[in-house]
Chain A
Amino acid sequence: MNSVTHPVFPERIMALLDGELSAAEARVVSTHLDTCAECAHLAERLRTTSQLLSAWRIPDIPGTVEESVADLVDKTRSGLKTGLAALPLRLSRLTWGRRAILGAVAVLLVALTLALQTLSIFRHAEVSAYRAGSPQDQVEENRGSIGKLSRPLNERQLPVSGRQITKLNELVTATSPGVAADSNGLYHGLGDHAESSISVDGQPLTDQQSKIFTSLIQAPMIARTVSFSIVVKDFAASRSSLDAILARHHAYPAQLGVSTPENAPRSLQASLRFPAPELTSALRDLRTLGRVENESQGGEEVTRQHVDLAIRLKNARDTEQRFRSILQRHTGNVVEVLQVEEGIARVRSDIERMEAEQTTLEHRVDFATIDLQLTEEYKAPLNPPAASVSTRMHNAFVAGYHNASETVIGIVLFLEEYGPAILIWLIIFVLPAILVWRRYQRKIAAV
């Protein structure tokens, strides 16, 4: 059957029998069927096939379906929520959209839980950091963020460096409320008062430490550090202002460096030491230098270190004194005298080292450190074009060639480096996947 002898395609004969042709097309095909025996035979074959298929009868549907559907319609009519609520929750019945929504909700819940935990940890860290010795400035800055937590602490109004606190209770961290010194005025770390012990930095005090602590310490010793990053418009003027600020507050630069690169903004990096009582006003002055990009403050409580150092120093001095007494009162052979003198020398060395440490520690407390970075607002100069258009095009072509060759080399290197591994993984995963896919196709064809 071809289009020369049969101007009507066989599909059109089938379409005529199925009633899929327009009236005009149907007339043409019908006319051809009247004159062509072969096409008429084809039409007869198609009709016969359909008639044969009509013998495929299906038994009546069981009545249980009607009952189930009627039950569902009844629930719908009664206003009960249909769908998931009316049917058992089966994931296979959910659409992909609903599955996606359920998944998104689950992910959201997990993220929310994690966020709440993180927030809780953050708050705990803030409060801990505060209890470790937040200075007054920090109290004021954190008032908004910590809210209620900061208020009771803020009310104490701890002086930063005056060491004028009269109540020792305010210097220590009580693990339970209502802790006070015993009848002798001593704070016990363990023993009779173990259940309501007090501590510095979370460590219990011994009786000896407590006694010395009481006699030596009048205020918390906090070594303060501030980090500033400021962008200034006029670098030279800001530099002069900085010098003036240093002079006004009796401060000094521990380290200072200026960088003036070409075609780049100038910058200054300095580590400045300000007397602790001057810190608040110095910070205020420094903020006027320009736009503060970054500012962070910190305070390290060194009270315990200082107390420990004082105790060790006192013990060392006592030891030295005892050595000297022995040397004065007792005479022995030369070896014994030399041993005592060696002991005195060793203890003296320790005393001097500890005195230096103590001085440094007190200096850190007396002088706050400000790490300052001043950066100039960069204004690009208007320079003439560096090169001609042809030169720039040539350079661009060369750069493009280099980039292309580097890319090709990179791909080759990547394949050399990872190709064998990728091949192994492909063999491991793809072959079983193909087998599973073929099996799946066979099974789906059998359904």
Chain B
Amino acid sequence: MNGKPVNFDLERPATAETDEQLMVAFSRGSTDAFGQLFLRYKQPLFGFFRRRVADPAQAEELTQDTFFAVVRSSSRYEPRALFRTYLYAIAYKIFRAYRRKTALRATFFGAETGSRAPALQSPSDAELWLRQAVAKLERLDREILLLREFEQLSYAEIADLLQLPLNTVRSRLFRARMALRDLLATPAPKSSPTKLAEREEYV
């Protein structure tokens, strides 16, 4: 232990150690191990929240909260499951808490739930078209689809995370994919990015 500030060396080549080994090493005090984990999961985790939350700044904060939670609970970590599953379980829990809090605030104080993102980036037409289509899915179907397509979780991991039977996950995923295929069968709108952003429905 020294007083030197921690700086994750993102340029450092990735090690061959598994996520679980790195997490165990971090729980024993290795900061470098956490740097590697951060390097591996910062973007997927940000994507997890960015696809579900309208506000990019909020997605950033939720990502940060998830890593905070991992750091805080590192002393209690036991490698009984994949670290990826563990991480997304924490992220999903934080997301649900955020969703509840936001919905409650909106219910009683009338705050905006689908606050629009500041126009920092101008997403492509295809991307907005995808977002709109995914947003039209039923909430649970959408969640299963996103966890499978983007977080690459297995059916069993999704079932465990959402507390659902495995067959339910499979049938809902199939239904979501079919519904999405139908939604995407219509051609992408030709509007300008600005107009699209106004109609944008975040998931």
Contact = CB atoms under 8 A, between A and B. Distances in A.
Nearest to B44: A58
Nearest to B175: A11
A55 B126 contact: yes
Given A50-B149, A64-B60, A440-B107, A76 B51 contact: no
B31 interface: yes
Interface in A45-73: 45-46, 48-50, 52-62, 64-66, 68-73
Contacts of B184: 49, 52
A58 B174 contact: no
A79 interface: yes
Interface in B33-60: 34, 38, 42-43, 46-47, 50-51, 53, 56, 60
Contacts of B149: 50, 53-54
Given A53-B130, A58-B51, A446-B114, A66 B101 contact: no
Contacts of A49: 177, 180-181, 184
Contacts of B7: 70
Contacts of A18: 148, 155
Interface residue tally on A, bucketed by range: 35 or more
Given A49-B181, A55-B127, A440-B104, A69 B97 contact: no
Interface in B122-147: 126-127, 130-131, 134, 139
A447 B173 contact: no
Residue among B63, B103, B114, B154 facing the most chain A CB atoms (10 A cut-off): B103
B50 A65 contact: no
Contacts of B101: 92
Contacts of A82: 71-72
B148 A77 contact: no
A11 B175 CA distance: 9
Contacts of B100: 444
A93 to B, nearest CB: 8
Interface of A: 10-11, 14-15, 18, 20, 45-46, 48-50, 52-62, 64-66, 68-74, 76-79, 82-83, 87, 92-93, 436, 439-440, 443-447
